[in-house]
Amino acid sequence: MTRANLILLVLITCIAALPLFGGAYTLRLGTIACMYAIMALSWNVVGGFAGYPSFATAAFFGLGAYIGGVLLARGLPLTAAIPIAGIGSFLVAALLGAALLRLRGHYFAIASLSLIEVFRELVNNATDLTGGGMGLNIPLTASAGVMADATFFFYLMWGVLLVTAVMVIAVSMSKLGFGLSCIMQNETAANMVGLNTTLYKSIAFGLSACFVGAAGGVYAAWVHYIDPSDVFDILYSVKPIVMALIGGLGSPLGVTIGAFVYLGLEEVVWRNYIQIHSGVLGVLIVLLLLFLPHGLTSLRGWRLWGRAKNV
């Protein structure tokens, strides 16, 4: 295991101590931080490792939220609903991936973007099952007070984050990860030397959807109310990309730190400029892309304590 991956695991373990220090607000932030990290890490599998510009994160987040939400509303326990949300998202993504991932570049980007629209419209129109535009109420679990709830959902989201991180590290060390980086560098050549690129890409797409879907399920249970325009928000697709760009594409540690940095910025902007927060976010994205396209890790001094590479 590389040093960066070890640091990532240590970092995530440290986050588990958060309930010792903060109140309900800190825990809420912590839960969102874990959710963002899950999204960024998951996106990194298909966007960072395989180099496919996927804008489908929101589609699978919403899908997972609705699978989880509908099951919970039907009375299934949380322990069943969330794994089903994850596995369901994995299957849907892997199947769709087999078709969509034949597209490259701009065409893939557009197709993955429209996936959000398709899912949103489907959910919107399946009023009997999902409540359509009225949204879906998810019954409260037996609550033991605000703090207990906040702590419970924080650990739930944290657990998903831990599993995601382990998955991403496992992928990066396995033959799958190697195959994905081959695909990123030259897909045609990878195909030529006998790599089953379609299978690899589909698995990567499925894995990138799986934990986002599970996080969606947790989110639905956490906020107790979801509606299509909330969970199928295209921002959920763009945010992970911005996080990955902040932290540096491809590195699991980088994108996780990117997610935390992004959340910090977002929170500061939200608190101070509520009316223009999305505009400020836009300015942030533009400045980031223009002046820091390789992320924070490209800043000089970052690797001061690292071993010198053969420069």
Partner 1 sequence: MLAAQILINALVLGCLYACIAIGFSLVWGVLNVINLIHGSFIVLGAYLAWSLYQGLHISPWYSLAVAAPLFFAFGYVIQRLILNRVITAPVLVTLTLTFGLDLILNNAMIYYFKADYRKLTLTPPMGSVSIFDVVVPVDRLIATVAALALTFVLYLILRRLRVGRAIVAVRLDRDAAVLMGVNVNSIYAIAFGLGAALAGCAGVLMALIFPISPLTSTAYLGKAFVVCVLGGLGSVSGALAGGILLALIEGVGSAMIGPAHATTLSFVLLIVFLILRPQGLLGRKGFE
Q: Which is nearer to partner 1, 106 or 307 (CB)?
A: 106
Contact status: 111 vs partner 1 (CB under 8 A): yes
> CA 111, 136, 122 angle in degrees (round to 5)?
30
Contact status: 171 vs partner 1 (CB under 8 A): no
The CB-side HSE value for 49 (13 A sphere, CA atoms) comes to 29
Q: Which is nearer to partner 1, 8 or 113 (CB)?
A: 113
Query: Can you tell me which of 115, 161, 182, 226 binds partner 1, judged by CB under 8 A?
Result: 115
Contacts (CB under 8 A) with partner 1, residues 189-248: 234, 238, 241-242, 245
> CA 304, 306, 311 angle in degrees (round to 5)?
90
**Would you call 150 helix, strand, or coil by DSSP?**
helix
The answer to whether the CB of 201 falls within 8 A of the CB of 219 is no
Give the interface segment with partner 1, choosing from 5-13, 34-42, 217-225, 273-281 (CB under 8 A).
Answer: 273-281
The answer to whether the CB of 90 falls within 8 A of the CB of 206 is yes
123 to 162: interface string for partner 1, x by CB under 8 A: -xx-------------------------------------
Query: Can you tell me which of 286, 298, 299, 302 binds partner 1, judged by CB under 8 A?
Result: 286
Distances (CA, A) of 201 to 52, 126, 128, 212: 9, 30, 35, 17
CB of 239 to partner 1, least distance (A): 10
Contact status: 281 vs partner 1 (CB under 8 A): yes
Give the interface segment with partner 1, choosing from 65-73, 85-93, 114-122, 203-211 (CB under 8 A).
Answer: 114-122
Place of tokens 């420069």: 311
For residue 262, the surrounding DSSP H or E stretch is: helix 252-272
Rounded CA-CA distance 135/120 in Å is 12
Give the interface segment with partner 1, choosing from 122-130, 189-197, 199-207, 301-309 (CB under 8 A).
Answer: 122-130
92 token code pair: 């849907």
Contact status: 122 vs partner 1 (CB under 8 A): yes
**Sign of the Cα pseudo-torsion (209, 207, 184, 297, in order):** positive
Using CB under 8 A as the criterion, which residues of the chain lie in contact with partner 1 when the complex forms? Answer: 47, 53, 55, 99-100, 102-103, 105-107, 109-111, 113-115, 117-118, 121-122, 124-125, 234, 238, 241-242, 245, 275-279, 281-286, 289-290, 293
